[in-house]
Amino acid sequence: MLEKAFKGSRAYWIWLLALLAVIGVGFGFYLRQLNFGLGITGMSRDVSWGFYIAQFTFLVGVAASAVMLVIPYYLHDYKKFGKITVLGEFLAVSSVIMCLLFIIADLGQPMRLFNVLIHPTPHSMLFWDMIVLNGYLLLNIVIGWNVLEAERNEIPPPQWVKPLIYLSIPWAISIHTVTAFLYCGLPGRGFWLTAVLAPRFLASAFAAGPAFLILLAFIVRRFTNFDAGREQIQTLAKIVTYGALANLFFFLCEVFVAVYSQIPEHTAHLQYLFFGLHGHDVLVPWMWTSIFLMLAAITLLVIPTARRNEAVLGVACVAIFIGIWIDKGLGMISGGFIPNPLHHVSEYVPTFPEIMITIAIYATGFLVLTILYKVVVGVKQEIGE
Amino acid sequence: MDNSRRSFLKIAGVSALGLGGVSGLSAMIPGPVIAEQGTSAPLYKDTQKALTAGRWGMVVDTRKLSRSLCEKMVAACHKAHNVPDHDHERHTIKWIWTDGFEHIFPGKDDEYLPERLNNLPILSLCNQCNNPPCVQACPTKATFQREDGIVMMDFHRCIGCRFCMAACPYGSRSFNFRDPRPAIDEENPDFPTRMKGVVEKCNFCAERLAEGKMPACVEVSEGALVFGDLEDPKSEIRKVLRENYAIRRKQSLGTNPSVYYII
């Protein structure tokens, strides 16, 4: 099936070359980082995780959201999703690849990466994150590829794929749960020390992931003759709506606990993010933008007539995606480090090389995604869908 | 549970020694040292001079601290351990440093604090927690706890993920954001320098204890620091703790620090 990725229009090849160019530039900056050390980033002794780990966290959510297609199709027999489930699975594949690249980009000694395997340490959450992420990657490649191949041959998928599909459902939940456990099990980091972190991660993932999938479906429809289907997109839109509402609810629970209890270790971080602390406030406009985008998108999504209009739906999905990206990709990680455990405020702003490396990793993800989607669309055209 | 974890960590420590068994590391392990290659078994032999303890601890007597004394202690430590002095704020490495009372003890800040405490620099260093969250977080056991309670780093195993830094509730850990070697004023050949991309922190001078010497900061502390075996009721540190009320940092977190402060 991979041969379908080698036959494409001019636009397809220009897009791939453009992505490769971005990757090349970013890789140049990565070589600089390898040579100098992580000192070329904006990270510091106080904010020891930055943009890379934040993108990783955000993308684990996008990856996990494939389950929002798998559950309706395989558990509720919602046949309509059969057409697009593989799009969700391949989005998961490219997202997990980006996650792994972000982790590697964040390591001080990447050549020692395999120490995690050589010295397995089950009491470290990072050990489990390695297992669940790589397992999820493998599951989605195997499931997506075999189901698509069966579809191409117009036969049912092999029997042994079924148990893997059922396994992929709790596995999807586990990747974002373990990712939340990286943060919420740490003493002395009041912002993350909350049982609602994993549920909130999942809720925001189930909003941002399907929102992104809707946008991808629009793009695929525009550039190819494959249509994900109006009803499918509308069902996804409802999932986005529930996800966004659940995320907002969990966030407000979080705010209530911190603000009403008035425990300084918990309020200080929220105060920093939304109002600034001791005169430091770089994230304040971003955080309010995030809140505004999410509220605006929810308003559009809960009104049925607005949601059913695909132009409005597109706008709402962009707003959801950016709003949650700011929340998780900017605020969630630095917010936990500021103020630091000694109640000093050192702010964090990513540097230019750091942003370039980040963009290159995203470009790598899009490259994988483009190739996988090209194969999917090629197969769908071949069987005349 | 503490016991089983201790024995587990003991294995971790020994395997760190075996697998990462490089000359730099061997100098940091007290008691047993790696015998010269080519000699017959046993591989490890006890040094006679080494200071040993059930659980090492420290008391910081803030009544005896002054700015100049603190500077002396910080300098002694940083010189002994080849701690680089980067001019870039973000790249700072520190094993021991001073901070104000409200930062060392957040939440214990008070409007009516005695004047003495308002301007007093208080020492901050790794607490050598008996229940260390950094050891729990480390995915490679590069950070491990020894039998005698010291929480140590294997600089050769650390992958630089900085999970330990997020886990430490005291901000005691530093990361080498760049090559530290050019920023070392005067290199001490008796202690390894580090490379970029690894985490480091205070090690209670394990390498000095192995040679029968007190930690570098304690040696120049003029009595402001008391170092000894917390598990030995006859030790000086226990005598000091019996006679003075001492507090520990963020005790409510359950990390069980081994550094006490007499306020």
CATH number at residue A40: 1.20.1630.10
State the nearest Cα–Cα gap between A362 and chain B, in angstroms: 21
CATH number of B2-262: 3.30.70.20
B110 contact A CB<8A: no
Which ranges of chain A does DSSP label H, i.e. alpha helix? 10-36, 51-64, 67-70, 85-106, 115-118, 125-152, 161-184, 197-223, 230-261, 264-275, 284-302, 304-308, 310-326, 332-337, 352-382
Give the number of C-alpha atoms closer than 13 A to the C-alpha of residue B209, restricted to the C-beta side.
Answer: 23
* pLDDT (0 to 100) of residue B23: 43
State the nearest Cα–Cα gap between A127 and chain B, in angstroms: 6
Query: Are A53 and A333 spatial neighbours (Cβ–Cβ below 8 Å)?
Result: yes
Query: Are A327 and A204 spatial neighbours (Cβ–Cβ below 8 Å)?
Result: yes
pLDDT in tens, A73-82: 999 999 899 8
pLDDT in tens, A257-312: 999 999 998 999 999 999 999 999 999 999 999 999 999 999 999 999 999 999 99
* pLDDT (0 to 100) of residue B32: 47
Contact list, A191 vs chain B (CB under 8 Å): none
The total number of structural domains in chain A stands at: 1
**Cα distances (Å, whole numbers) of residue A334 to A168, A326, B101, B169, B174:** 31, 11, 25, 16, 17
Among chain B residues, CA nearest to A342: B103
Among chain B residues, CA nearest to A336: B166
pLDDT in tens, chain A (385 residues): 888 889 889 999 999 999 999 999 999 999 999 999 999 999 999 999 999 999 999 999 999 999 999 999 999 999 899 889 999 999 999 999 999 999 999 999 999 999 999 999 999 999 999 999 999 999 999 999 999 999 999 999 999 999 999 999 999 999 999 999 999 999 989 999 999 999 999 999 999 999 999 999 999 999 888 899 999 999 999 999 999 999 999 999 999 999 999 999 899 999 999 999 999 999 999 999 999 999 999 999 999 999 999 999 999 999 999 999 999 999 999 999 999 999 999 999 999 999 999 999 999 999 999 999 999 999 988 887 6
Of chain B residues 142-201, which have a CB less than 8 A from chain A? Answer: 142, 157-163, 165-171, 174-179, 195-199
Within a 10 A sphere around the Cβ of B37, how many other Cβ atoms?
Answer: 6
When pLDDT is cut at 50, 70 and 90, the band that residue B129 belongs to is: very high
Q: DSSP assignment, residue A1?
A: -
Of chain B residues 75-104, which have a CB less than 8 A from chain A? Answer: 88-94, 99, 102-104
State the nearest Cα–Cα gap between B82 and chain A, in angstroms: 18
Query: Are B238 and B230 spatial neighbours (Cβ–Cβ below 8 Å)?
Result: yes
Contact list, B144 vs chain A (CB under 8 Å): none
pLDDT in tens, B133-192: 999 999 999 999 999 999 999 999 999 999 999 999 999 999 999 999 999 999 999 999
Q: Collapsing DSSP states into helix, strand and coil, what is residue B222?
A: coil
* pLDDT (0 to 100) of residue B118: 87
**ipTM rounded to 2 decimals:** 0.92
What range defines the domain where residue A370 resides? 2-382
Contact list, B178 vs chain A (CB under 8 Å): 36-37, 39
